Amino acid sequence: MYKSLEEIACAQILSNESEIFSIEFENQKYWVKKARATKPNKIQKFFYQILPFELLMPSLPKSAKEALVHETAKLELFRSKGINVPKVVYQCDDFFILEDVGVAIHALIRNQHITQEKMYYYINKVIELLATIHNKNQFHGGAQTRNFTYKEGKVFAIDLEESFTSSIDIETLKFRDFLLLLLSFVKIKASFELDYEYIIQQYVALTK
Ligand SMILES: Nc1ncnc2c1ncn2[C@@H]1O[C@H](COP(=O)(O)OP(=O)(O)OP(=O)(O)O)[C@@H](O)[C@H]1O
Ligand SMILES: [Mg+2]
């Protein structure tokens, strides 16, 4: 019997324990993300109470439904602004389905045999996308390299579920994004040192 993409996803939602997983439909790959509540990190919350430094602010807690609505709406908003994000191909109260946008940048750059040329090729593309997001007066919210992907020469932003109280200004959130991205580079195992000054200069040059 012919099954639609939603039916295949629905059946797997029940049997698959992962909160996010890929499925195949008519030779295309898709990602299914279950609705789940977002909670601020406990350690971060604790530190923020004793050290109310804006950059340490915890994200807002959201119910599963709120988190799903927030993430899909932000994906649509970014798409309408010409920011590379996966298309939301289906959504209901319990899950949403995204088109596949390739391999996580984190997976590509953590290879210890990566050449400098390849490393900076990916890093420059991520910086370009983050600068595009920021130049459109938006923020990512979880700008670590695991939340950017690469497919056919293009970098995409994924995992837009974080949100913050409206009292925090957009410039702080942009700065936080950039710091998160820089911190996520620390985990790479390349045989050469990363030139952080170059990376910072690239970002500064590309942002208004
Ligand atoms: N549309 C997509 N195309 C390709 N890969 C994807 C897509 N969506 C998710 N992934 C893969 O699944 C992983 C987890 O997805 P996502 O970051 O949205 O979930 P998460 O559970 O919120 O992650 P985190 O651990 O960052 O909180 C990504 O790092 C990426 O490898
Ligand atoms: Mg993620």
- pLDDT over 70 at 104, yes or no: yes
Crossing angle of helices 116-135 and 170-185, in 10° steps, is 170
Q: Tell me the percentage of the chain whose pLDDT exceeds 90.
A: 87
Task: Read off the pLDDT of each residue in 29-45 and give the average, rounded to a whole number.
Answer: 92
What local confidence, expressed as pLDDT, does residue 47 receive? 81
- pLDDT over 70 at 194, yes or no: yes
158 lines ligand 1 (CB under 6 A): yes
The pLDDT mean for the chain works out to: 94
Residue that wins the pLDDT comparison between 199 and 53: 199
Alpha carbon dihedral 84, 86, 88, 94, in 10-degree steps, equals: -130
Backbone angles phi, psi at 89, to 5 degrees: -90, -20
- pLDDT over 60 at 68, yes or no: yes
Distance 158 CA to ligand 2 centre (A): 7
Backbone angles phi, psi at 187, to 5 degrees: -80, -5
Question: Rounded to an integer, what distance in angstroms lies between the CA atom of residue 130 and that of residue 21?
Answer: 25
The pair of three-digit structure tokens given for residue 38, joined into one six-digit string: 């977002």
- pLDDT over 60 at 1, yes or no: no
143 lines ligand 1 (CB under 6 A): no
What confidence tens digit (pLDDT) does each residue in 81-93 have? 999 999 999 999 9
Domain boundary assignment for the chain = 5-206
- pLDDT over 60 at 180, yes or no: yes
Hey, which of 79, 149, 160 would you mutate to test ligand 1's pocket, going by the most ligand atoms within 8 Å of its Cβ? 149
199 lines ligand 1 (CB under 6 A): no
What local confidence, expressed as pLDDT, does residue 53 receive? 79
Superfamily for domain range 5-206: Transferase(Phosphotransferase) domain 1 (1.10.510.10)
98 lines ligand 1 (CB under 6 A): yes
**CA triple 193-194-199, angle to 5 deg:** 160
Task: Read off the pLDDT of each residue in 151-175 and give the average, rounded to a whole number.
Answer: 96
Q: Helix (H) and strand (E) counts for the chain?
A: 7, 7
What confidence tens digit (pLDDT) does each residue in 123-142 have? 999 999 999 999 999 999 99
